[in-house]
Homo-oligomer: A and B are copies of this chain.
Amino acid sequence: MTLTNPALSPAYPELTRRLADLSAIEEAIGILQWDQEIVMPPGAADARARQIATLAVLHHERLTHPRHLELLSTLQGDGGGLDDVARANVREAARDHRRASRIPPDLVRAWGEATVKAHEIWVDARKHADFERFRPMLEHLVELAQRRAAAIDPHRTSYDVLLDEFEPGMPMARLDTVFAPLRDFLVPFIAQVKTATDLPDVGWLHTPVPVDLQREAGEAIVRAMGYDFHYGRLDVAVHPFCGGAGPTDVRITTRYKETHFTGSLMAMVHETGHALYEQGRNRDLGDQPVSRPRSYGIHESQSLLWEKQVGQGAPFWTWHFPRLQERYAFLRGLDFETFLFGLNRVDFGNFIRVDADELTYPLHVILRYEIERDLFSGKLAVRDLPEAWNAKMQAYLGITPPDARLGVLQDVHWSSGSFGYFPSYTLGAMYAAQFWRAALRDVPGIPDGLATGDVGPLVGWLRTHVHRPGSRWETDELVRRATGEALEPAHFIDYLRAKYTRLYRLPAGV
């Protein structure tokens, strides 16, 4: 962090010290959460909740301290003294402060208590596939989220304020223009893909593979992608995630099922995409907000680019398929095209978002986005959610969930109060397609690199255009600098159309 004119801003070093302390607390919470998922004794759950809550309070106290605001005000009024990076750092810090300071303490407490209870109630309701058990709590959560949004910004609609937490600069008005064309393309396109016949056999996907072998094969691929185990580790989790504490401690997880070896493998590739983003942050600024990943959507673009564009593509497997065949004897008789088809196949009968393939996944997300949007505008009541959910599933994917467990109760997000989170998954897929297109244009040698086991050209492009910039620019500016334009849904649509037309041998011009 440099100051072009230190004399002008003695406040800046003081602010960065405060921000470093905030990062250290966030990192400590990151380790407590990782520990809770991976190694914590079951009886420690209550104590862990208290530890995390206490650190969160300490964090909030420091973030909303009058001195913090004083420093921010001084520095925001003092544009000339700071360089670009420092100004971006102050902008991000001010945003954090604004969101935190505007929520009154009683609401912070009510929110914390409600979400802890809600999780238990949701687990029980889902187990019994009984939406009514969850409904009263969900109504309470929606009301609290409305109050929270109103506290943060009373001049905007509540759902826009909630969306802003996960994807700044992506309000409903814009999401509608981004998601509507995608939905209008996907619904008829998927219906047509569904009619394809004479497809390769995918029974080999369920060949049992011992977990130890899966771990070795997965680890080899994780390493080959450039993940640095000196700054991370790989563990088993119920739900795979990428966690840890800052750029030098980036921990990935996967889960293993003997009869679904591609599941653990692709989860590892996905989480490694997240991890490369974290490990690739500008470490000189590793404790400052400006080095943080830009948004949930951009983070997801990094996992999805590796999982979909790279990890389900021919160049990557040109190198890795023969190596996997060495490990897994049953793959030796499989031809390359059948293998690739299996990795990319569309599962038309699937109700569950987290199990969805690349092509149907966006409709799961758009369904949730539209439901949340209507819920917060008052157009839709909580009690009408199951019906609205099932109607949209039928309209978009042509299937109706047989019960609420496979329908409206499937996701953990609402029980944790995360309204406005879902869009980032599909924004991520869109950013990924756009980044991939730009990377191939800038560095034509990327596919050849992948085909010869060299991820350097691709990682180099991502480091330069996404990882190291972190939060230096607002999302649109980041994407524009990387790709030449702001988010453009057509790239994702074109990518999906071309890929699945080819895979499912549809007539050209669909």
Q: Is A249 an interface residue (CB 8 A)?
A: yes
Bound-state Cα–Cα, A467 to B138, Å? 44
Bound-state Cα–Cα, A39 to B53, Å? 24
**Interface contact A31-B35, CB-CB below 8 Å:** yes
| Least CB distance, A103 to chain B, in whole angstroms | 20
Q: Is A41 an interface residue (CB 8 A)?
A: yes
Bound-state Cα–Cα, A248 to B44, Å? 5
- Give every chain B residue within 8 A of A43 (Cβ-Cβ): 228, 230-231, 248-249
Q: Is A81 an interface residue (CB 8 A)?
A: no
Chain A interface residue count, CB cutoff 8 Å, equals: 39
Bound-state Cα–Cα, A20 to B50, Å? 9
- Give every chain B residue within 8 A of A287 (Cβ-Cβ): 50
Residue from the set A46, A228, A248 with the largest chain B CB neighbour count within 10 Å: A248
| Least CB distance, A24 to chain B, in whole angstroms | 4
Q: Is A246 an interface residue (CB 8 A)?
A: yes
At the interface, is chain A mostly helix, strand, loop or mixed?
Answer: helix
- A249 interface neighbour in B25, B40, B233, B246, Cβ under 8 Å: B40
Looking across the interface, which residue of chain B has its beta carbon closest to that of A42?
Answer: B230
- Give every chain B residue within 8 A of A51 (Cβ-Cβ): 24, 27-28, 31, 245
**Interface contact A231-B41, CB-CB below 8 Å:** yes
- Give every chain B residue within 8 A of A57 (Cβ-Cβ): 21
**Interface contact B230-A24, CB-CB below 8 Å:** no
Given A25-B55, A31-B35, A32-B31, the answer on whether A47 and B246 have CB atoms closer than 8 Å is yes
Within 8 A of B (CB), among A278-315: 286-287
Q: Is A202 an interface residue (CB 8 A)?
A: no
A/B interface sample: 15 pairs, CB < 8 A:
A20-B50, A20-B54, A24-B51, A24-B54, A25-B55, A27-B51, A28-B51, A31-B35, A41-B232, A41-B248, A41-B251, A44-B244, A44-B248, A50-B287, A51-B245
Which 5 residue pairs across A and B have the least CB separation, nearest first?
Answer: A44-B249, A24-B54, A43-B231, A43-B230, A24-B51
